Amino acid sequence: MPPLLQAGNVSKHYGGVRALNQAHFTLRAGEVHALIGENGAGKSTLARILAGSTLADTASIAIDGHPAVIHNPLDAQRSGIGMIYQELDLFPNLTVGENLVIGNLHFREGRISVPRRIAAFCRPFLQRVGLACGVNDKVGGLPIGQQQLVAIARALSMDARILLMDEPTSSLFDDAADRLFGLIAELRSAGVAMVYVSHKMDEILRICDRATVLRDGQTIGTVETAATNVDELIRMMVGRDLKLTECTRAGRSQRGGAGEIVLAVEGLTTGKLRGVSFQLRRGEVLGVAGLVGAGRSELGAALFGMDRIRAGAIHARGAIGLLPEDRRLQGLMMSMSVLENSTMAVLPRFQRLGFIRAREEQRALEPLARNLALRCDSTAQPVGQLSGGNQQKVLLARWLLRDPDVLFLDDPTRGIDVAAKQDIYRIVDALAEAGKGVILVSSELPELLRCCDRILVLSGGRLTAIYDAMEATQEKIMAAATTPNSPEARC
């Protein structure tokens, strides 16, 4: 029997950058198949080509052994392929029902939509994904996890037999992710084949049957997840040995929060935060955990002076640097160069009479770029061409040049590859060694447990717990993060 989907000789280049180079990929009926690789390896590009949202330079695709032409999303829909994008492709101002029927070949109601018919069409699919919201709710008002379910229901209502998911858990916390995994198992037993693009090894080993590894746009190999382990997968991804489980906290305990207090926050209240108090010492890495919407990023905004403070006080000794959550929207100037982005916040340092002294500017970045293991063709390359991990390093370089006393890192490893994550852990370590106070926000609890001295947990804008990293566990943190948001909650 031919495989459900077979793609061979898939190539795609963007300008001079080769995203895919004769990659190949085979999906069997009824399996959950992981597509993994470092950032820039080409996994998202491959998924987008199969979904028709990116046009390949070359690709031969066969479905059930028959050649298929997929040049646009409608072709993909006809072939039974649906995709759940990382940044969900929903219309936030339309209702759940309207989102399901728009562009849907299986909803043949002409140009005038009757709400009753839309509701009748949508109901079975919403039930299937376990979505409790109303058909007439605006999608933009739903939590991100439910929006994702809408996207899945939409793909199912388009009669998708193949579901492509690009980093579906990247913005979900563990409970929403668990619900998603349950749904994936159900769909799998109902005969839907799934391609699961992700960085997260534990998820892949838990829910996927097979995994295909891409590196530098080429297919390295496909393995049965039951017959492999994290270390082997990472070896295939990066082409060298690398311990994900390496614990940096060992060195940490020797330091033991010795430094003076660099940041003291007392009863901080903003539009989102409610009476948050904590202290940060030199040489300390303070983790911030919490569900999406718990106020983690808002804490950074308040510290950085971007949000209005309604009550409470912030006592900072020295400057505060903020590495924002969304490096694309809040961080980088994408068409400007690596060098220009790095020195952005310290430009006056290199000026004489307003003119930039180019050699000094270049010289300031060089040691830092080496230290960060920043990879680029030249420092004149636009940052838009770099992989996510290298973009994040450029942004880090901007703040390291600024040399603040307190650095607020908002989810710095989000969506970046394993090797770059290790680089960033190393830098966080070095910053603490150098006597900085570091605040590290993360959605990945193992990351917090690995990097931090203490972990502060937010829930609904309140501080619900502070743990010493030595006594903290994922279970304790989760419990504090889901503490009901009542005034009695302990602070």
Which one of the spans 9-17, 52-60, 128-136, 210-218 is the region binding another protein (CB under 8 A)? 9-17
Contact residue for another protein among 15, 110, 367, 487 (CB under 8 A): 15
Q: Does 336 bind another protein (CB under 8 A)?
A: yes
Q: Does 359 bind another protein (CB under 8 A)?
A: no
Contact residue for another protein among 51, 262, 322, 396 (CB under 8 A): 322
Residue 193, beta-bridge partner list = 162
The Cα 450–Cα 447 span in angstroms is: 5
Nearest to 80 by CA among 92, 66, 90: 66
Q: Which is nearer to another protein, 112 or 353 (CB)?
A: 353
Q: Site map for another protein, 398-437, x if CB under 8 A?
A: x---------------------------------------
Q: Which is nearer to another protein, 14 or 91 (CB)?
A: 14
The Cα 150–Cα 126 span in angstroms is: 7
Tokens of residue 169, six digits? 């858990």
- Measured from the CB of residue 307, what is the shortest distance to another protein in angstroms? 13
- Measured from the CB of residue 239, what is the shortest distance to another protein in angstroms? 18
The Cα 232–Cα 223 span in angstroms is: 10
* CA dist list (Å): 280 to 157, 250, 299, 301, 476: 51, 20, 14, 17, 21
Nearest to 275 by CA among 283, 267, 286: 267
Q: Which is nearer to another protein, 262 or 344 (CB)?
A: 344
Q: Does 16 bind another protein (CB under 8 A)?
A: yes
The Cα 104–Cα 122 span in angstroms is: 11
Q: Which is nearer to another protein, 311 or 358 (CB)?
A: 358
Contact residue for another protein among 295, 331, 388, 461 (CB under 8 A): 331
Instruction: State the first-to-last Cα distance of the chain, in angstroms, to the nearest integer.
Output: 61
The Cα 6–Cα 60 span in angstroms is: 8
The Cα 340–Cα 52 span in angstroms is: 35
Q: Does 254 bind another protein (CB under 8 A)?
A: no
The Cα 116–Cα 121 span in angstroms is: 9
Radius of gyration of the chain (CA): 24
The Cα 346–Cα 354 span in angstroms is: 13
Tokens of residue 235, six digits? 């070896």
- Measured from the CB of residue 218, what is the shortest distance to another protein in angstroms? 16
Q: How many residues touch another protein (CB under 8 A)?
A: 32
Which one of the spans 221-229, 339-347, 423-431, 447-455 is the region binding another protein (CB under 8 A)? 339-347
Return all residues near 425 (Cβ < 8 A) that are at least 6 apart. 248, 447, 450, 451
Residue 114, beta-bridge partner list = none
Q: Which is nearer to another protein, 297 or 443 (CB)?
A: 297
Q: Does 45 bind another protein (CB under 8 A)?
A: no
Interactions with another protein, residue window 372-391 (CB under 8 A): 377-378, 380-382, 385
Interactions with another protein, residue window 273-312 (CB under 8 A): 304, 306
Q: Does 191 bind another protein (CB under 8 A)?
A: no
Please report, as ranges, the residues that interact with another protein according to CB under 8 A. Answer: 15-17, 304, 306, 322, 324, 329-337, 340, 344-345, 347-348, 351, 354-356, 377-378, 380-382, 385, 398
